[in-house]
Amino acid sequence: MRHERFDRVALRPAEARVVRLLRLWRENDEATAQLELRDALGFTRARVCLRALGDFANLLTTHGWHAPLILAPDATGLSDDERAIARFVLTATEQDRDLALAEATMLVTPSIF
């Protein structure tokens, strides 16, 4: 699996935030994730967003083609799995249903649909 340096990859701000949140989820650091989102979304929306991220991550680990490679929060690289997940989340939030569904099929097995 390829890892690119995080500072050399052109991620949009929303994608970079998804990667940071995934890495905090991997470390079970909900407090830091909540603080990061609270400033942008407010307390209630941050909690709902983190709950949805946890549900999404559980779906990935349960129904994914493989366990996603989520790097440590201080890693300078970016895994292919992190990039694919960030791309899926961004296309889903931009309400591009067809593209988001295509991205989802690369992340989870067809049995989930």
Please spell the DSSP secondary structure of the chain, one letter per residue. Answer: --EEEGGGS---HHHHHHHHHHHHHHTT-HHHHHHHHHHHH-HHHHHHHHHHHHHHHHHHHHHBSS------TT-SEEEHHHHHHHHHHHHHHTT-HHHHHHHHHHHB-GGG-
The pLDDT tens digits of the residues spanning 54-76 come to 898 888 989 999 989 999 999 98
Q: How many of the other CB atoms lie within 10 Å of CB of 4?
A: 14
Query: Is the entire prediction scored with pTM above 0.85?
Result: no
The pLDDT tens digits of the residues spanning 81-97 come to 999 999 999 998 888 88
Report the distance separating Cα 58 and Cα 72, nearest Å: 18
